[in-house]
Amino acid sequence: MRWNELEAGLRRHASLGILDTYGEVEDPKGRYPLLRLRTAGGALCVITAGFHGDEQSGPISLMEHLPEVIDYARANDVALAVYPCLNPSGFDAFSRYNRNGEKPNNWFIDYELPDGRVIGELREIVPYTRTLLRTVGPAETRALIAEMERLPATPVGALDLHQDPYFDGHLAYAYAFGDPGPYIDLINRSERIVPIARSHEVDDHTHSDEHGLVYFHDGSVTDYFMRRGTAYTAVVETTTDTDMALACQVNLVWMRGFIDLCARV
Ligand SMILES: [Zn+2]
């Protein structure tokens, strides 16, 4: 799908909340709004999608299912802040990074170690002195970091929708932090739609556990929210091989599940 079609589809949902922009990015082929849609309610749930332009099921599932997601959030008194396509020129070009090729784009924080070194991820649990917000990187990421820092409150839930283009087959798994209980339930519900990549190498030196969950302080937006104190923060991944309708159904399970988790607080 191209950006114009996605944008038109998203804008059809404008009456369901406040649809506006938190910035704009530009490349040689055009200018792209950074869209957000917000709805009122109690606990805040942030949903992000489209960091990687070749992982289209996140933005498409929001285009197709936003009305029912918003209805469900309203019924549960959960406020939503939805960022349906974080990297519009990448989506348009069907490329992982933006059309200018700036990467990586899901890098929010660095870790300062006791010896003063600054690193982008913690492969092992080691002491660190503080986290530092990234101030350099692609325009989309800098705009999103500023936007997240402006949120009126720390969200209770933050869900990021991705896909995995690196291995074959119809599969889903998730990155998460903390007590696996809430996520195991969502994995089990996802398993009715697609198989789960349990105990699987999902990236170089990165493995899912027996539940299909990966724990990794990778400096991403998900890690940022975990460090900020967000109670529930996860990334749901389907392989890009997964049938689009099924990938969207998995995303819907996780969006509804995150609304349930936020509603409990
Ligand atoms: Zn991704």
The one-digit pLDDT tens for each residue of the chain (265 residues) are 999 999 999 999 999 999 999 999 999 999 999 999 999 999 999 999 999 999 999 999 999 999 999 999 999 999 999 999 999 999 999 999 999 999 999 999 999 999 999 999 998 889 999 999 999 999 999 999 999 999 999 999 999 999 999 888 999 999 999 999 999 999 999 999 999 999 999 888 899 999 999 999 999 999 999 999 999 999 999 999 999 999 999 999 999 999 999 998 8
110, part of any domain: no
Backbone angles phi, psi at 235, to 5 degrees: -120, 125
Distance 55 CA to ligand 1 centre (A): 6
69, part of any domain: yes
76, part of any domain: yes
* Nearest residue to 31 (alpha-carbon basis) of 116, 140, 134, 125: 140
Token pair of 78, please?
A: 């959960």
Distance 59 CA to ligand 1 centre (A): 12
Q: Is 169 left (phi over 0), alpha (psi -120 to 50) or beta?
A: left
219, part of any domain: yes
d(C-alpha 261, C-alpha 255), whole Å: 10
The predicted model scores a pTM of 0.98
C-beta atoms surrounding 41 within 10 Å: 19
Distance 162 CA to ligand 1 centre (A): 4
Q: What is the CATH number of the domain that holds 14?
A: 3.40.630.10
Residues 6+ apart with CB under 8 A from 27: 89, 98, 99, 100
Distance 38 CA to ligand 1 centre (A): 23
In this structure, is the dihedral angle defined by the CA atoms of residues 111, 116, 117 and 123, taken in order, positive or negative? negative
Distance 92 CA to ligand 1 centre (A): 15
Q: Which residues pair with 116 in a beta bridge?
A: none
23, part of any domain: yes
State which residues form the domain around 49: 3-102+142-264
115, part of any domain: no
Distance 167 CA to ligand 1 centre (A): 13
d(C-alpha 108, C-alpha 121), whole Å: 10
Distance 106 CA to ligand 1 centre (A): 8
Distance 171 CA to ligand 1 centre (A): 14
Backbone angles phi, psi at 264, to 5 degrees: -70, -25
Q: What confidence score (pLDDT) does residue 125 get?
A: 86
CB–CB of 25/32 below 8 Å?
Answer: yes
d(C-alpha 61, C-alpha 114), whole Å: 43
Distance 75 CA to ligand 1 centre (A): 30
127, part of any domain: no
Q: What confidence score (pLDDT) does residue 96 get?
A: 97
Q: How is residue 213 annotated by DSSP?
A: E
d(C-alpha 100, C-alpha 28), whole Å: 8
29, part of any domain: yes
Q: What confidence score (pLDDT) does residue 204 get?
A: 85
Distance 224 CA to ligand 1 centre (A): 16
d(C-alpha 248, C-alpha 55), whole Å: 11
Q: What confidence score (pLDDT) does residue 167 get?
A: 84
d(C-alpha 81, C-alpha 259), whole Å: 12
d(C-alpha 253, C-alpha 116), whole Å: 42
d(C-alpha 86, C-alpha 146), whole Å: 13
Distance 184 CA to ligand 1 centre (A): 21
Q: What confidence score (pLDDT) does residue 193 get?
A: 98
Structural domain count of the chain: 1
Distance 163 CA to ligand 1 centre (A): 5
d(C-alpha 11, C-alpha 33), whole Å: 12
Tallying the residues shown for the chain, one arrives at: 265
In this structure, is the dihedral angle defined by the CA atoms of residues 45, 219, 20 and 255, taken in order, positive or negative? negative
